[in-house]
Amino acid sequence: MRIAHLFDHAHALPTIPKVVHQLIQSFNHEEVSIDEIASQITADPVISAKLLRLANSAYFHVTHKVSTVDDALRMLGFVMVRNLVVGSGLAGGFKATPSLNLNQFWSYCLGTAVTARWLGRLAGENTDLCFTVGLTHAIGELVMHAAMPEQMLFMDRTCSPIDPRRAEMETQSFGYHYADVGAELARRWHFPDEITEAIRHVPSPLEDESGGKVAAIVHLAAWRARVSEYRLGSEELVASYPGDVGQRLGIAPTWLPELAAEHAHLKPKAVMPPLEELLGGLQDLLH
């Protein structure tokens, strides 16, 4: 099945609230009415309640209670509020399929997003952009599962949807992989080119000739999230580390304690806290 034909399937796209559609459209508009966005979010009691719960989580370290959508926009910024609302809408918008554990999938994506934001700060990149790409980088998997469930069931039995070999195996079977599909979805939703192209190159960031760092950051973050989901031990963690990607970013392999122990001769610039601590309550985004 060609990529374009995937989107002809009735369930290929998520069922998401109107306000999430409107926020997705805002990615490609420089002039956005914050007041209008606030009123749209407020009009959806489920989304606004979840936003306030997330805004008051430990992740954001707010000094005052966030009581309204206006408070959230003022204290977290429009881009992060949009990330939270869109992420929440997408997490609840795709239907479960027999071979895909949606809870694990979105837990992995959220772990990738918060790690990418942390690494983005370390690499001097746009942290909100890193978070957005991290959260959405694997969404093509959901489109593929919805459009061709039988083929994906067979694929899932061979290789987990979050396995690092997945893109190569999908390319061998279909001629494209989940990141190609995710980039096409982002294009159809009018995401900015920098998001679309970053999503496309996450599986193989060293092949990205544009020289952008976001795909490499998310690739590294996805590795860290995968380590957590698979509960890899220290030896497996060290052995699987994509050092060539870290080198491309100029990030020394000392940002995790397990890696720092293997490179004691290098002085750590910063060490990432445990992923559970870094998530800081953002898991509510998935429920």
pLDDT of residue 63: 85
Q: Maximum distance among all alpha carbons in the chain?
A: 56
- Which is higher by pLDDT, 222 or 47? 222
pTM of the full structure: 0.92
- pLDDT exceeding 90 applies to what percent of the chain? 60
With a cut of 80, say whether residue 69 has pLDDT above it: yes
* Per-residue pLDDT reduced to its tens digit, 113-147: 999 999 999 999 999 999 999 999 999 999 999 89
Q: Report the alpha-carbon distance of residue 249 to residue 197 in Å, rounded.
A: 17
What domains sit in the chain, N to C, each tagged with a CATH number?
3-12+96-286 (1.10.3210.10)
Average pLDDT over residues 58-67: 90
* Per-residue pLDDT reduced to its tens digit, 138-185: 999 999 998 999 999 999 999 999 999 999 999 999 999 999 999 999
- Which is higher by pLDDT, 170 or 30? 170
Average pLDDT over residues 22-45: 83
Q: Report the alpha-carbon distance of residue 77 to residue 284 in Å, rounded.
A: 19
CB 155 within 8 A of CB 170: yes
Nearest to 215 by CA among 126, 278, 276: 126
CB 268 within 8 A of CB 236: no
pLDDT of residue 30: 67
* Per-residue pLDDT reduced to its tens digit, 236-276: 998 999 999 999 998 988 898 888 777 666 676 788 999 99
Average pLDDT over residues 51-75: 91
Average pLDDT over residues 21-34: 79
Alpha helices in the chain (DSSP H): 3-6, 18-25, 34-42, 45-55, 69-76, 78-93, 102-123, 127-136, 139-147, 149-158, 166-174, 178-188, 193-201, 214-230, 234-240, 243-249, 257-262, 275-279
Residue 11 pLDDT level (bands cut at 50, 70, 90): confident
